[in-house]
Structure 1
Amino acid sequence: MTTSTRPRTPTTTYPDARPGARAPTASGSSPAPRGAARLRALDGLRLIAALMVALYHYGGRDGEISEAWGSSPSVQFPTAHSWFAYGCLGVQIFFVISGFVICMSGWGRPLRSFFASRAARLLPSYWAAVILVTAVFALPPVVYAAVSPSDFLVNLTMLQQPLGADRVLGVCWTLWAEVRFYALFALCVVLPGANRRRVVLFCAVWTLAAVIAEAASMPLLDLVLMPEYAPFFIGGIGLYLVHRDRQDVTAWGIVGVSWLLGQHYAVDRLWHAPDPDFFSFRPSVGIIAVVTLGFAAVAAVALGLLSRVDCTWLTTAGALTYPFYLVHEHLGWVSVGALHRGLGLPSHLTVLVTIALMLGLARLLNRCVEDRFTPRIRAALKRG
Structure 2
Amino acid sequence: MSRPSPRLAALDGLRLVAALAVLAYHYTVAWRIDGVRLPEYFLPRTVHVTVYGFLGVELFFLISGFVICMSSWGRTLGEFFASRVGRLYPAYWAAVLLTGAVALAFPLTRSSMDQGRPSLMTILVNLSMLQQPLGHDPVDGVYWTLFVELKFYLIMALVLGRGLTYRRAVLLCAVWMTVAVITPSLGSPLLNALTVSDYAPYFIGGIALYLIHRFGPTPLLYGITGMSWLVCLSRAEDRLQGVIAGFTVPTWPGLVIITLCFAVLLLIALGRADRIRWRWLTVAGALTYPLYLLHARIGHTLIRAAYEHTTAPVWTIVAATTAVMLVLAWLVHRYVERPLGRRLRNAVRTPQVDWEPIPQRAPVRERASV
Fold-level similarity (TM above 0.5): yes
Matched with 2:22 is 53
- The equivalences for 1:10-49 within 5 A come to 22=1, 30=2, 33=3, 35=4, 37-49=6-18
Letter in 1 for 2:169: V
Q: TM-score, normalised by structure 2?
A: 0.89
| 3-state SS in 2 of match to 1:159 | coil
The offset of 1:269, in angstroms, is: 1.8
Measure the CA separation in 1 of the matches of 2:142 and 2:301: 16
Matched with 2:112 is none
Measure the CA separation in 2 of the matches of 1:247 and 1:36: 15
Counterpart pick for 1:229 among 199, 204, 214: 199
Matched with 2:123 is 152
Measure the CA separation in 1 of the matches of 2:270 and 2:248: 34
State whether structure 2 residue 101 is matched by structure 1 residue 132: no
Measure the CA separation in 2 of the matches of 1:107 and 1:307: 20
Q: Which runs of 5+ in 2 are unaligned?
A: 110-114, 352-370
| 3-state SS in 1 of match to 2:324 | helix
Matched with 1:245 is 215
State whether structure 2 residue 232 is matched by structure 1 residue 262: yes
The offset of 1:158, in angstroms, is: 0.6
Counterpart pick for 1:217 among 172, 184, 187: 187
Letter in 2 for 1:193: G
Change (3 A) 1:124 1:220: same
| 3-state SS in 2 of match to 1:376 | helix
Instruction: Note if contact 2:34-2:307 (Cα within 8 Å) is conserved in structure 1.
Output: no
Matched with 1:109 is 75
- The equivalences for 1:180-329 within 5 A come to 180-187=151-158, 189-271=159-241, 278-329=245-296
The offset of 1:140, in angstroms, is: 6.0
Letter in 2 for 1:94: F
Letter in 2 for 1:327: L
Letter in 2 for 1:89: L
Change (3 A) 1:141 1:266: closer
Percent identical: 46
Instruction: Note if contact 1:271-1:281 (Cα within 8 Å) is conserved in structure 2.
Output: no
- The equivalences for 1:326-365 within 5 A come to 326-365=293-332
Aligned residues: 346
Q: TM-score, normalised by structure 1?
A: 0.86
Instruction: Note if contact 1:60-1:87 (Cα within 8 Å) is conserved in structure 2.
Output: no
Change (3 A) 1:140 1:312: closer
Measure the CA separation in 2 of the matches of 1:179 and 1:267: 25
Matched with 2:135 is 164
| 3-state SS in 2 of match to 1:383 | coil
| 3-state SS in 1 of match to 2:136 | coil
Q: Which runs of 5+ in 1 are unaligned?
A: 1-21, 23-29
Matched with 2:37 is 71
For residues 102-127 of structure 1, give each alpha carbon's deviation from its aligned partner in whole angstroms, at most 9, with x where no partner exists: 00111110000001001110000101
Instruction: Note if contact 2:86-2:344 (Cα within 8 Å) is conserved in structure 1.
Output: yes
Change (3 A) 1:148 1:141: closer
Measure the CA separation in 1 of the matches of 2:106 and 2:27: 23
Instruction: Note if contact 1:47-1:317 (Cα within 8 Å) is conserved in structure 2.
Output: yes
Measure the CA separation in 1 of the matches of 2:107 and 2:208: 49
The offset of 1:138, in angstroms, is: 2.0
For residues 48-74 of structure 1, give each alpha carbon's deviation from its aligned partner in whole angstroms, at most 9, with x where no partner exists: 00000001001122x3x4346x63101
| 3-state SS in 1 of match to 2:254 | helix
Instruction: Note if contact 1:43-1:314 (Cα within 8 Å) is conserved in structure 2.
Output: yes
For residues 311-356 of structure 1, give each alpha carbon's deviation from its aligned partner in whole angstroms, at most 9, with x where no partner exists: 0010100000000000100011111112233222212111111110
Letter in 2 for 1:339: A
Measure the CA separation in 2 of the matches of 1:88 and 1:140: 25
Instruction: Note if contact 2:107-2:116 (Cα within 8 Å) is conserved in structure 1.
Output: no
Letter in 2 for 1:248: T
Measure the CA separation in 2 of the matches of 1:53 and 1:378: 29
| 3-state SS in 1 of match to 2:128 | coil
Matched with 1:81 is 47
Measure the CA separation in 1 of the matches of 2:349 and 2:53: 37
| 3-state SS in 2 of match to 1:206 | helix
| 3-state SS in 2 of match to 1:71 | coil
Measure the CA separation in 2 of the matches of 1:89 and 1:141: 27
The offset of 1:135, in angstroms, is: 0.8
Change (3 A) 1:293 1:121: same
The offset of 1:210, in angstroms, is: 0.9
Measure the CA separation in 2 of the matches of 1:332 and 1:141: 13
Instruction: Note if contact 2:96-2:139 (Cα within 8 Å) is conserved in structure 1.
Output: yes
